Structure 1
């Protein structure tokens, strides 16, 4: 009887999937004279999401858009990702169109899986509300403020390297880099240095990250379900902290060091409104997540590339600390080859055309970093690690886009720049290192990460 029941359920599921596929297929071809770009919607319901994720886990995420560009010989194709009919615009021309077309042709959009994680943050809020909140947040993250906080970055970095790195001959670099980055985020965004609190929140963030860019299936056991639960736990802890900090704000003798939470508590938006506790918590969740996960990925990949490029390491070691120009070229090349964000989404506000093809209102539009970062057209020998390419002035506009572009360019780019450069300077002045596994696979899920945690052999710098 159980066999018959299971077969019946399977039949019903397949029938529903077939009906869904027919509805999607009919809709995609019901636009009369509308000329949609070539492409495939993949499997019913899941589309091509699983294929994108599979390639990422194999370290070949670039292949998804690049293969389709080659197949159709176009810089545009259609697909179906994260439950949405999606048009992908490729190349610098596509990037420029989307970055300059904000609010005219497209609006920023994120999958429902992310909206449930980051709530009322400027990342997922409606356009006008997001712009107001973004200005409040960005005023803390601007270059002038970050430069004033360099000593705090440096103090945290030195403490982490001395405590967790200096007494060891071999380390798992990714885990220790992540611990450093999270300590920085806790300090700058919350002035919270309690190690037990940090560990509890970091454990929840690790679960949250695994639920980013997943199919929004809210069912016990799924990555999305676990991520939503972890986001709620983090939010609850932050709201308690925010309420405590509100009480401290009126007591000038007990104020903590400058941090994002205190800034958001007392700064009004352009409408003269203060953010609610939940709005502050959601924005802090977003920035703590981005402020340690994306930079952790970049710093880990930076260690990998420098271990493979001794000449580049030596140039970083000799770099002028007052300018760190070559060091930033190294970071830029890491961001080109292994950007932590593989691209972002927009939603078509109106019907419009691109390269002779129609993009219907309401469809999702996706741009990716790899269609320019890994293109011979924009970066000759794209698989070669060459920081000097960023010393030239011939980078095609809209081709180097690790922080996005337009009005929604990542507001934390100055924070990331200081955090990474401080780490790089201290690291090369204290250590040299070798990869334990030179051929370690780099997967993308959803950010570049070494499959074994990037174990390295550490050596005290000979000049010490």
Structure 2
């Protein structure tokens, strides 16, 4: 037996040796690739803690300053990720969406609503949110809903922008009236939105666990009363419409109110434009599409709000092939993020980027790919026209009825998964003297 030991030891060590050689080669291969600069953060956690503490806007600004203004690597939501920055990054992603990139949604979002979003387009192509604009979200179709937007805004001037946006979405997209939006449905939607950009850990007390429970309530609500909706349509309604209403549209309206209350000279110019429109209307006559087309300065104010404080973090994709960008290699399977912060706050594109200046949108406006609050390319947000109409209608009803006074004069805007005033933006509403 002892005579066999010299022969057995190499055999026993062979698997370990093979593993060691494979690991070294794999590591060397990874090192040969010129990956973007950056940090992957902590094991498993990545830089999610930094995202939570700093917010998206500051995290990206810090990493661009520290590593590269073109592209940097990070780890978010449990995934290796490359963040492409600035106008060139936006342009590269938008132009290659159907060749180098595939649609990707965070695992927390997929788990929260029990759907594989990538399969939706194969199940019912016309039911996907990208194609849903052929119906309700087309500008011509939206015209008839201006009256609904106006009548609802008159009733609910400012108890809650969230309730207004959600009530309107339910009325228009789901033909639902009378839901208790202050009850389980609204609470469940809030839990869902707070968990869609969380680590994919489903344990009691985690954001994902609460989001899954919220998603269950919403799915049941959209199929109640015996009205069946397919899985694809549920995904479409929840993500494209209701989440957009609660998560981004209500955030945008709040941001507009924040700046109008913060900047009296901007408010006065908006009020002047809106009062001219109000004076042209008869008693109890609601707004029409042609009235909204006259709100040019107001829309520039909204656009400047979107530039300074975009409601969404940006957009995610998955690389379907290895590619090179700005001299760095992005491996196949990595997730790729574009973000509007990196171009919106660039002084090369927007002089004095911290200054609130709606006039910068007059004339030809920003250069292509520099201003991207609704994304771009084949996947530009189909709800952009809807967002414009709702925001303008709400702003008209607000400023023509009230002057705004911030209860907390120096209230800060916090940037997390979506921006929000630190204390909820408490206001004093002063009716105009008649």
Q: Which TM-score bucket, shorter chain as reference? A: 0.7 to 0.9
SS in 1 for 2:223: helix
1:329-374, Cα deviation, whole Å (9 max, x unpaired):
0110111111110211110111111111111111111111110111
Residue 43 of structure 1 aligns with which residue?
42
Q: Residues 118 and 283 of structure 1 are in contact (CA less than 8 Å); yes or no, is this contact kept in structure 2?
A: no
Q: Give 1:235 shift.
A: 0.1
Structure 2 length normalisation: TM-score? 0.85
Task: Provide the rounded CA distance (Å) in 2 between the counterparts of 1:317 and 1:347.
Answer: 45
Residue 353 of structure 1 aligns with which residue?
324
Q: Residues 239 and 277 of structure 1 are in contact (CA less than 8 Å); yes or no, is this contact kept in structure 2?
A: no
Structure 1 length normalisation: TM-score? 0.80
Provide closer, same or farther for how the CA distance between residues 458 and 28 of structure 1 changes in structure 2, counting only shifts above 3 A: farther
Task: Provide the rounded CA distance (Å) in 2 between the counterparts of 1:130 and 1:404.
Answer: 24
Q: Give 1:238 shift.
A: 0.9
Task: Provide the rounded CA distance (Å) in 1 between the counterparts of 2:199 and 2:30.
Answer: 27
Q: Residues 403 and 410 of structure 1 are in contact (CA less than 8 Å); yes or no, is this contact kept in structure 2?
A: yes
Q: Residues 104 and 317 of structure 2 are in contact (CA less than 8 Å); yes or no, is this contact kept in structure 1?
A: yes
- Residues 141-180 of structure 1 mapped to structure 2, 5 A cutoff: 141-161=137-157, 165=158, 176-180=160-164
Q: Give 1:72 shift.
A: 2.7
- Residues 375-414 of structure 1 mapped to structure 2, 5 A cutoff: 375-414=346-385
Q: Are positions 1:218 and 2:214 aligned together?
A: no
Q: Are positions 1:238 and 2:222 aligned together?
A: yes
Q: Are positions 1:420 and 2:416 aligned together?
A: no
Instruction: Count how many residue pairs are aligned between Structure 1 and Structure 2.
Output: 393
- Residues 45-444 of structure 1 mapped to structure 2, 5 A cutoff: 45-56=44-55, 61-120=56-115, 125=119, 132=126, 133-134=128-129, 136-139=131-134, 140-161=136-157, 165=158, 176-196=160-180, 199-241=183-225, 243-244=226-227, 277-286=230-239, 287-319=241-273, 321=277, 322=291, 323-444=294-415
Any gaps of 5 or more consecutive residues in structure 2? 1-21, 278-290
Task: Provide the rounded CA distance (Å) in 2 between the counterparts of 1:238 and 1:129.
Answer: 19
Q: Give 1:33 shift.
A: 3.1
1:278-302, Cα deviation, whole Å (9 max, x unpaired):
3222221121111232111111111
Task: Provide the rounded CA distance (Å) in 2 between the counterparts of 1:82 and 1:278.
Answer: 25
Any gaps of 5 or more consecutive residues in structure 1? 1-22, 166-174, 247-275
SS in 2 for 1:157: helix
Q: Give 1:119 shift.
A: 4.5
Task: Provide the rounded CA distance (Å) in 2 between the counterparts of 1:185 and 1:309.
Answer: 30
SS in 2 for 1:41: coil
Residue 249 of structure 1 aligns with which residue?
none
Task: Provide the rounded CA distance (Å) in 2 between the counterparts of 1:90 and 1:231.
Answer: 32
Task: Provide the rounded CA distance (Å) in 1 between the counterparts of 2:119 and 2:426.
Answer: 39
Deviates more, 1:360-369 or 1:307-316: 307-316
Task: Provide the rounded CA distance (Å) in 2 between the counterparts of 1:426 and 1:24.
Answer: 64
